[in-house]
Amino acid sequence: MNIGLATTRSARRYPDRLAAFDHERELLWRDLDARSNRLANVLHSGLQLDKGDRVALWAPNRLEVPEVLAGVAKAGLVYVGLNFRMSDTDFAHVFENAQPRVLIVAGEYRERAEHLISGQDIRLIDLDDASSSGYESLLADAASLAPATLHQVRPEDDFCIVYTSGTTGTPKGVWFDHGRVLQHATVAALEYEIDRETRYLTAIPHNSSVHITMAPCMTMGGAMGFFDSRRFDAEVYVREVARTAATHSYLVPTQLYRLLETAPGQDSLASMNTLGYGAAPMSPDKAALLVERFGPIFNQLYGMAEIASIGTMLRKDDHVTALDGRPELLRSVGQPSYAIDVRVVDPAGNDVDKGERGEVIFSAPYMMKGYYRDADRTARTLIDGWIHSGDVARVDDDGFIYIVDRIKDLIIRGGYNIAPAEIEAALHQHPDVLEVGVIGVPDEQWGESILAVVALKPGAASDATTMIDWCRNESSLSTVKLPGNIEFVPSLPKNAVGKIAKNELRRNYSAAADED
């Protein structure tokens, strides 16, 4: 079994049902299957690519994404979804690491792509090129019958490489085979209640949602929708949900905060059955507001690319329970999902006692094979069959996991370990704060001091002294955890999935602190 065959089976079951859509186009399952067959034949028979060769896609969220994914899979090739936000340096690293034979690119990125791959043996195919060498012409000239490779691709064959956002250095290629992704698709379908009636509106970059969105829908016959994630506008998103009758979606906390500022009530998301969130800490107060305003449609996932994003889930009923008298649950990331073992351990690898802090580690049949062509970083993360997250957490008596912070993000002030997430949660309670990132910056006296970088809500105004006084008088922060300074910015830097890029904040503000 493989992802390409899963696509074909959905097309046979539901040929006339909607398979994919974006802001202006729709594609039925029979057409997605035929077009992905044509692409597979172009790649295998036309371009003579060999099993295991890599094919990269550089495009925004658009209708062609699932057919490229399926076509690459049917041909026995390896799909590499690229993050359009990467720097030229990171693109160069990815091309060197993945060594793709083909780069399929949206017309708007073609010029930059040609510059980056100049001198390399990479065939470029332009999605928007109307000439005979463009994507549509190549598909039109190819056979629509399934390629000979369709039934030759085995579960253990490589399927995709998902590059991380580079928040801890150069992007790492998280590497999966078909079997792992199919197992994960089953878990995601169960957790998100995905079936043939699903209309899943993807509002984060497609390269980050291969597992959460596309593989489950391809397996279950749901429809995959694509919303432009480059310029998230909450009002436009609400209109698109209504226009497409979207039943499922996934947003990061910052997007949800903007939704709270824009959408008046439950009718705004009337068609929505499941709205997932994750990738960054969520303010418990805002999570409660979301449920009160839009209803019990929310679930939170916690994970990492290395486990295909799903490790624990704070499910819809957990959100309801939180509002019915257990508000502390909204500070948790839920309980372990299906088919995954989640532990919190000390440095020696022993499980910590309930309530004690340790590192979160994961083991699952769908976790990554490793980092592609990167044995050193694989060995540091995948140890004795366990993925080490680098996250500090504790577990309560009911098995709910509470993330304290990233090990590498902890601020050491005068020998005292301080979790930025606690300070961020406090600042999120301020009525004028839209988003916040807290980092440690060099300090001669204390080693590190606490800096909060804050983006205010539209129309709000404040200054560092006023907000620090608010933290002192109105929040639960102890004196040692009060920010030493607050910088105000229009918005905070983020990675491809909307997580605040702490490394960029540290580069920008640690250098400034050193200069002081």
Q: Which amino acid is at 311?
A: G
pLDDT of 173: 96
Domain positions in the chain: 1-176, 232-408, 410-515
Average pLDDT over residues 488-503: 86
CATH number of 410-515: 3.30.300.30
> Considering only CA atoms, which of 165, 163, 258, 159 is closest in space to residue 203?
258
Tell me which of 35-49, 157-171, 206-220, 373-387 is least confident: 157-171
Average pLDDT over residues 408-434: 87
User: Distance from first CA to last CA of the chain, Å, rounded?
Assistant: 60
The secondary structure element, H or E, covering residue 404 is: strand 401-406
Average pLDDT over residues 359-373: 97
pLDDT of 169: 65
Average pLDDT over residues 102-130: 97
Q: How far apart are CA 204 and CA 249, in angstroms?
A: 9
Whether 206 and 81 have beta carbons less than 8 Å apart is answered as yes
Q: Do domains 1-176 and 232-408 have the same CATH topology?
A: yes
pLDDT of 391: 92
> Considering only CA atoms, which of 429, 253, 251 is closest in space to residue 327?
429
Q: What angle do CA 53, 21, 72 make, to 5 degrees?
A: 10
pLDDT band per the 50, 70, 90 thresholds, residue 166: low
Average pLDDT over residues 438-444: 89
Q: Which amino acid is at 274?
A: T
Q: How far apart are CA 94 and CA 111, in angstroms?
A: 18
Torsion angle of the four alpha carbons 423, 426, 432, 434, in this order, in degrees rounded to the nearest 10: 60
List, as one string, the DSSP characters of 299-339: EEEE--GGGTT-SEEE-HHHHHHHHTT-GGGGGS--EE-TT
Whether 214 and 460 have beta carbons less than 8 Å apart is answered as no
**What tokens were used for 397?**
């008596």
Number of continuous H segments (helices) and E segments (strands) in the chain: 16, 26
- Chain centroid to Cα 197, Å, comes to 23
pLDDT band per the 50, 70, 90 thresholds, residue 516: very low
| Helix, strand, or coil (residue 136) | helix
Say which residue, 413 or 11, is predicted with more confidence.
11
- CATH superfamily, domain 232-408, is ANL, N-terminal domain (3.40.50.12780)
Q: How far apart are CA 403 and CA 280, in angstroms?
A: 11
Task: Express each pLDDT in 312-348 by its tens digit.
Answer: 999 999 999 999 999 999 999 999 999 999 999 999 9
Average pLDDT over all residues of the chain: 93
CATH of 1-176, one of 3.40.50.980, 3.30.1490.20, 3.40.50.740, 3.30.9.80: 3.40.50.980
pLDDT of 1: 94
C-beta pairs of 11-17 under 8 Å, 24+ apart in sequence:
13/196, 13/221, 14/196, 14/221, 17/196, 17/221, 17/223
The model's pTM: 0.86
Q: How far apart are CA 284 and CA 279, in angstroms?
A: 15
Task: Express each pLDDT in 39-77 by its tens digit.
Answer: 999 999 999 999 999 999 999 999 999 999 999 999 999
Average pLDDT over residues 239-259: 93
